[in-house]
């Protein structure tokens, strides 16, 4: 079943796509700008899946709607006509199998390079050049496979336009949603599992963040609230930002509620960031009354859980009276990442390269003691705390001289700079991430595991969690919870 509609007088396809956004998942929608000399104009063609034959046509159309800009341009250049770009519909399971096989290929590649390094071949052997080629090819295949799963965030963002409109109507507020970086491509699974948390955060921003029009005028702001939804790629990760220009977080009130719900002790000293993080505590709600949109107590903790499950994190920054920004950082791919292979007390571990700013072999003059057990590193006039990773990983703390060790300068979104002390750096390579949650459970400071060239397992360090273990906040919330959960799992 299919329909064709012709609409006159519109200069762009965007308004039509927005209107038909609600059928996005249900059928294939194809919007073409009308050529002046086209004999039979197809402006909008919608196909409902009812027979296998039709479905093929629909797939082609779906593919086309998906990657409009790029594919369309190429196609137009190739054929000089408006024929639909051909695309392929593949069972996701096949792609998953391919991804697994590529993962094994990468492991196998590291096995071979490790063997060869130990084989005492002359450095000039041609084999090494071939090995480098193999490495490059393996990486190319891996990137290619990942690209199959990547999709632009545009459909997701368009769905958010409707959510924002509905939320604004329900609360009687005037809100404009601006989207940026719609062409940013993210893994399909991530897009699917991001829809619910994003919906929730958009609703929250409109219900709690942006003030009613009268209040805004009184505060000297534009009547219309602005909500910005932006996606961009930053080194190994995707950052999605939801920023409103509303009232900002009312920290004294958040604290008050947290105390009344027994989430924090009354006399606890909390920093601003720690108060902000209370939003993610289970059962937390600031809404004075329960509305259709929010205030039912299922809230940001669900958002956080969903995003953590994807290997991402959420950070908040807020200025009272100016607005609040939530930024979600997600890994680019779920299966493979670039890692620094390190030695820690004889154990091989992996630190994600995306979080390492630089590696330093400290000189005596760069180090200064603070208290009994803590050392600071001076780097370009800044003082950065050093965390002994071995100690954090539960190995015996041997107060060794820091000058024997290598420091990894770590920078992440939610924690200030710190340096992780490790024993040695072996290598830098792609590793295949294996989850441990299924069989074992979560371990604080460890985000997963990988299999090395020799078949042994190396744990992947979560630098952010390790660094956060330093702050007071960890004691109130995550650390305790995690301790319980991993002991319980086995």
Binding site for another protein (CB under 8 A): 103-104, 107, 282, 301, 305, 308, 347, 392-395, 434-436, 438-446, 449, 451, 455-459, 478, 481-490
- Share of the chain residues as helix, strand and coil, in percent rounded to the nearest 5: 40, 25, 35
- Residue 422 CB, shortest distance to another protein, in Å, is 14
Residue whose CB is less far from another protein, 169 or 483: 483
Beta bridge partners of 319: 323
Residue whose CB is less far from another protein, 262 or 438: 438
Residue whose CB is less far from another protein, 65 or 107: 107
d(CA 167, CA 171): 6
Q: Are 238 and 251 in contact (CB under 8 A)?
A: no
- Residue 343 CB, shortest distance to another protein, in Å, is 13
Residue whose CB is less far from another protein, 15 or 481: 481
Query: Closest by alpha carbon to 227, among 202, 208, 248?
Result: 202
d(CA 388, CA 402): 9
- Residue 44 CB, shortest distance to another protein, in Å, is 44
Residue identified by tokens 């208290």 is 371
C-alpha distances in Å from residue 394, one per residue of 226, 228, 293, 386: 47, 43, 45, 16
- Residue 446 CB, shortest distance to another protein, in Å, is 7
165: DSSP letter: H
* Ramachandran class of 323: left when φ > 0, alpha when ψ lies in -120 to 50, beta otherwise: left
- Residue 325 CB, shortest distance to another protein, in Å, is 23
Using only the alpha carbons of the chain, give its radius of gyration.
26
355: DSSP letter: G
Length of the chain (residues): 490
- Residue 436 CB, shortest distance to another protein, in Å, is 5
Residue whose CB is less far from another protein, 28 or 443: 443
- Residue 78 CB, shortest distance to another protein, in Å, is 41
Residue whose CB is less far from another protein, 301 or 366: 301
291: DSSP letter: -
Longest Cα separation, the chain: 83
Residue whose CB is less far from another protein, 177 or 461: 461
Residue whose CB is less far from another protein, 194 or 206: 194
Residue whose CB is less far from another protein, 208 or 392: 392
Structure tokens belonging to residue 451? 């299999």
- Residue 434 CB, shortest distance to another protein, in Å, is 5
Helix runs in 83-228, H state only: 92-117, 126-149, 154-171, 188-204, 213-218
Residue whose CB is less far from another protein, 103 or 209: 103
85: DSSP letter: P
Residue whose CB is less far from another protein, 62 or 344: 344
- Residue 478 CB, shortest distance to another protein, in Å, is 8
Residue 302, C-beta contacts closer than 8 angstroms, at least 6 positions apart: 196, 197, 200
Structure tokens belonging to residue 208? 């709690």
Beta bridge partners of 458: 450
d(CA 379, CA 375): 13
* Ramachandran class of 432: left when φ > 0, alpha when ψ lies in -120 to 50, beta otherwise: beta
Phi, psi angles (nearest 5°) of residue 353: -65, -30
DSSP count for the chain of H helices, then E strands: 15, 21
35: DSSP letter: P
Classified as helix, coil or strand, 450 is strand
Residue whose CB is less far from another protein, 190 or 436: 436
């Amino acid at each position: 079943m299919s329909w064709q509609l012709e609409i006159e007088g519109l200069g762009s396809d965007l308004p039509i796509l927005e209107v038909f956004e609600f059928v996005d998942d249900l059928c294939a929608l194809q919007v073409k700008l009308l050529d002046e000399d086209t004999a039979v104009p197809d402006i909008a063609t919608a196909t409902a899946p009812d027979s296998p034959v039709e479905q093929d046509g629909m797939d082609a159309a779906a593919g086309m709607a998906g990657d409009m800009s790029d594919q369309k341009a190429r196609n137009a250049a190739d054929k000089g006509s408006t024929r639909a770009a051909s695309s392929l519909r593949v069972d996701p399971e096949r792609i998953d199998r391919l991804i697994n096989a590529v993962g094994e290929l990468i492991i196998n590649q590291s096995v071979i390079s490790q063997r060869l390094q130990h084989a005492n071949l002359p450095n000039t052997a041609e084999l090494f050049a071939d090995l480098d080629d193999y490495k490059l090819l393996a990486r190319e295949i891996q990137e290619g496979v990942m690209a199959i799963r990547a999709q632009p965030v545009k459909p997701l963002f368009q769905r958010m336009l409707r959510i924002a409109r509905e939320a604004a109507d329900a609360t009687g507020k005037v809100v404009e949603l601006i989207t940026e970086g719609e062409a940013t491509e993210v893994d399909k699974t991530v897009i699917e599992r991001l829809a619910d948390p994003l919906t929730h955060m958009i609703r929250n921003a409109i219900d709690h963040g942006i003030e009613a029009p009268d209040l805004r005028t009184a505060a000297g702001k534009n009547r219309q609230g602005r909500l910005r939804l932006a996606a961009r790629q930053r080194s190994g990760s995707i950052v999605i930002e939801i920023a409103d220009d509303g009232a900002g977080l009312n920290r004294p009130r958040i604290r008050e509620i947290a105390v009344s719900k027994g989430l924090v002790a009354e006399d606890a000293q909390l920093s601003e960031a720690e108060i902000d993080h209370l939003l993610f505590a289970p059962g937390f709600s600031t809404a004075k009354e329960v509305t259709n949109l929010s205030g039912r107590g299922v809230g940001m903790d669900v958002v956080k859980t969903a995003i953590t499950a994807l290997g991402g994190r959420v950070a908040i920054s807020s200025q009272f009276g100016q607005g609040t920004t939530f930024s979600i950082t997600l890994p680019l791919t779920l299966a493979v990442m670039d890692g620094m292979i390190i030695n820690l007390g004889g154990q091989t571990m992996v630190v994600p390269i995306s979080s390492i700013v630089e590696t330093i072999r400290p000189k005596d003059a760069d180090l200064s003691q603070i208290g009994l057990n803590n050392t600071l590193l001076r780097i370009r006039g800044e003082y950065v705390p050093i965390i002994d990773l071995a100690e954090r990983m539960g190995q015996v703390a041997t107060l060794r001289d820091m000058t024997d060790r290598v420091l990894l300068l770590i920078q992440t979104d939610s924690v200030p700079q710190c340096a992780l002390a490790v024993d040695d750096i072996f290598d830098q390579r792609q590793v295949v991430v294996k989850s441990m949650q299924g069989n074992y459970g979560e371990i604080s400071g460890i985000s997963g595991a990988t299999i090395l060239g020799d078949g042994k397992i190396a744990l992947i360090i979560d630098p952010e969690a390790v660094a956060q273990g330093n702050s007071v906040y960890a004691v109130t919330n995550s650390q305790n919870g995690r301790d319980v959960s991993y002991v319980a799992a086995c």
